Structure 1
């Protein structure tokens, strides 16, 4: 039991995404359709920040079995959703989200930078591969602003 807890402590602190929605892009007769999914995740070290990631997921037989390689293109938008608080000091280029996009060799990841001069958090999404990554990427930035603690009723 202690060993399992110790191993869990060694795992990197990455956010887990929850799916917000999806749209089909290509109909497949066998297996799931190709689609674009929209996922949301909260930055695990920065309270008050949520990121939305849209990306392609390959369907068909290979996609249904988890053997297909998803495309490298992705889009990201991060927003301040509450008062921003840092759980621990931030490291530039720290991975905040990572997901496998092929059976073994390819991942999509989001890294965070802190632009101190402009008091802004910058998030970059890109895809990498064991041998060769992709230059395709997307970036979003959040200026750190004061946040009103009073809740506004929704009408």
Structure 2
């Protein structure tokens, strides 16, 4: 029973998380065997806020392990989010949770490590803040990046 509830909540949370499309990449280290190490640029639309697009850049490990999907990517990532049209917030978002809501998740190692993006709503400033972070601790704290989208009138 406990496992079926865990499975059900995992499936439900996966349904509301955005999926990214690769925009492009640059090679950073040549590997003789397997793909090169690279920096990948991906875009995703916020699944719950129409007309907000986020761009992520992240490191992707190459080589034999990277080609087989066994390598662990570094925790480095950057994010930039933009308003692309009129934004209307749902009541659930405008009331906002202090702990935020996961809008994007990508596995960056075979088992334990993920890159996640969490959305927060700053009611006082009428702004959406997007926090990208790796859930694996590096030197005592997770690496992270942030982008803010002020909600502006759209003509």
- If the length of structure 1 is used for normalisation, what is the TM-score? 0.85
Q: CA deviation at 1:11?
A: 3.7
Contact 1:45 1:88 in 2 (8 A): no
2:66 is the counterpart of 1:59:
no
What does the per-residue CA deviation read over 1:90-128, in whole Å, with 9 as the maximum and x for residues that have no partner? Answer: 243100000000000100000000000000000000001
Q: 2:106 maps to which residue? A: 99
TM-score (normalizing by structure 2)? 0.85
Q: Corresponding residue for 2:115?
A: 108
3-state DSSP of counterpart to 2:72:
coil
Question: CA shift at 1:18, angstroms?
Answer: 0.3
Higher helix share: 2
CA RMSD of aligned residues (A): 1.6
Aligned to 2:29: 26
- Extract structure 1 runs of 4+ deviating beyond 4 A: none
Rounded Cα–Cα distance in structure 1 between residues aligned with 2:129 and 2:119 = 6
Question: What does the per-residue CA deviation read over 1:52-85, in whole Å, with 9 as the maximum and x for residues that have no partner?
Answer: 0000000000000000000001000000001112
8 Å Cα contact 1:47/1:87 also seen in 2: no
Cα distance in 2, alignment partners of residues 62 and 34 from structure 1:
11
Looking at secondary structure, tell me which structure has more strand per residue. 1
